[in-house]
Structure 1
Amino acid sequence: MQNKIINKINFTSQIWKENNIFISHNPELKVSSCGNTIKKAKQNLKQAIELFIETTEKMGTLNEILEESGFVKKKENHEQIWKAPELLSFERMNLAF
């Protein structure tokens, strides 16, 4: 019996508040969602990324998009894990214009 490979992805979630709505954003894939709470915004972002993955997989472009977005594929046991690029710095900056 052949073991099935399980695909997984780890990704970055940024959350901020606009008025009374929490916005959740994944910068690597440029996918966003929102919710009335932080928890709901996270759940909705996961769902949006699942739909993104399903759609690009059907189109045959998933691997290419993940690689172009900086994800690296690692194989561990019976899992294939797409790891997001490591964030090295995150800060607010100012620019006069």
Structure 2
Amino acid sequence: MTNKQSILAKIPVIFFEEGDKLIAYSPALDLSTCGDNLEQAKKRFAEAATIFINEASQMGTLEEVLAECGWQKTPSGQAWTPPLYVGQLQEEIEIPAVR
């Protein structure tokens, strides 16, 4: 639920497997968590994001945190816009052999 001073924002969340866990990561908040399946990872990410935002707000560092994550204040200065991610590519890199 939001109050009249809150904004709703849609942010990208990337899900990937790591061992037997599913990782949920959002570059828009530089925040991650995990779960045993997609539903659990989604639920835990929503909980972690809420805690993260609320704690930063209570500490008085929310604006600094959002700016460091690439968010921009709207022209009115009353709201924030998350960074826009335009795509995801698979780039080939060379990794030296481990000896």
TM-score (norm 1): 0.78
For 1:74 and 1:81, the matched residues in 2 are separated by 6
Which protein is richer in strand relative to its size? 1
Residue-by-residue CA offset, 1:3-54 (whole Å, 9 max, x unaligned):
9333323211000012221100011221111111111101111111111111
* Count, aligned residues: 91
Query: Any runs of at least 4 consecutive aligned residues in structure 1 with deviations exceeding 4 A, and if so which?
Result: none
Query: How far 1:74 sits from its partner (Å)?
Result: 4.5
| Alpha-carbon RMSD | 2.2
Q: CA deviation at 1:67?
A: 2.0
1:46-73 CA distance string (max 9 Å, x none) = 1111111111111101012112212234
Structure with more relative contact order (C-alpha pairs < 8 Å, separation 6 or more): 1
Q: Aligned runs of 1:30-45 on 2, under 5 Å?
A: 30-45=30-45
Gaps of 5+ in 2: none
Distance in 2, Cα, partners of 1:30 & 1:90: 16
Alignment of 1:1-97 (within 5 A): 4-74=4-74, 82-97=80-95
Contact kept, 8 Å, 2:24 with 2:34, in 1: the verdict is yes
Structure 1 gaps of 5+ residues are none
**Following the alignment from structure 1 to structure 2, what is the Cα–Cα distance between the partners of residues 6 and 58?**
14
> Is the 8 Å Cα contact of residues 9 and 81 (structure 1) preserved in structure 2?
no
Residue pair 1:11, 1:26 contacting (<8 A) in 2 also: yes
